[in-house]
Structure 1
Amino acid sequence: MKEQGMSSTPSIIDELKKASSAEEFFTLLKVDYEPQIVNVARLHILRRMGEYLFKEDFSSFSDEEAVEKCRMFLEQAYLDFTKSSPIAERLFKVHKDAVKPPQQPTLVQLGAQK
């Protein structure tokens, strides 16, 4: 139990750190999901949830508030990928690099005479 005035990590964060699959995140946070969506976008969903979590300061939340915030972030991340695709969202470098315009090579003339 967290004492009043002490800054500590809510227990749900510790539990999520131990989770070894996307399905465990959904189970821990009691979020419904369709397996076929998670099978296609599991890493993307968790990465997006991580982006949402990173922006939040959990130190002032009670355990119950932290669970609700995590649940909300997972639901939002999941919804992001029910409306869009992993490639369209471009969370990972490989997807971002795939849409970069090709760089024009620098031409250097060899043997140019003055």
Structure 2
Amino acid sequence: MSDVTQTIEELDLDELESAEDFLTYFGIAFDPAVVHVNRLHILQRFHDYLAEVETLPEDAQAQFELHRDLLEGAYGDFVNSDARTEKVFRVFKQGQPVNVGLDSLLGQLHHAPSV
């Protein structure tokens, strides 16, 4: 685990490249299968949670724990849920998907055989 005597600003979080790196860095146990399917959603949710924090604690330990708690919460959101339900990205926030039947599409093509 990292040296928490540094402030989060001093830590080189830019070195962390994946959701697994972040989870490991903050000492959060995780299921690789959950992370594999939801890695971008977890990181985006973590970012969203951080954006809601108005003031970071001055104490390095408190900063570390806040980041850890927010990341653990972001990961936890996807343990028993999925990206479609959580709607992290805009594409999932748009209207309900429209189902278009193949026969409808083929009927619009002049050269397609009828079904």
Q: Is 1:17 the counterpart of 2:41 in the alignment?
A: no
Q: Is 1:62 the counterpart of 2:53 in the alignment?
A: no
Q: Deviations over 1:61-108 (max 9, x none)?
A: 21111110011011111111012111111111111225279xxxxxxx
Give the aligned CA root-mean-square deviation in angstroms. Answer: 2.3
> How many residues of Structure 1 are paired with residues of Structure 2 in the alignment?
92
Contact 1:48 1:91 in 2 (8 A): yes
Q: Deviations over 1:43-67 (max 9, x none)?
A: 1111111111111122x42111111
Ranges in structure 1 where 5+ consecutive residues have no aligned partner: 1-8, 102-114
Q: Where does 1:1-114 land on structure 2 (aligned, <5 Å)?
A: 10-11=7-8, 14-56=11-53, 57-58=55-56, 60-99=57-96
Ranges in structure 2 where 5+ consecutive residues have no aligned partner: 1-5, 99-115
Q: In structure 2, do the counterparts of structure 1 residues 13 and 49 end up closer, same or farther at CA, with 3 Å as the change threshold? A: farther
Contact 1:52 1:73 in 2 (8 A): yes
One-letter code aligned to 1:76: G
Structure number with the bigger relative contact order (C-alpha 8 A, sep ≥ 6) is 1
Pick the structure with more helix per residue. Answer: 1
TM-score scaled by length of structure 1: 0.70
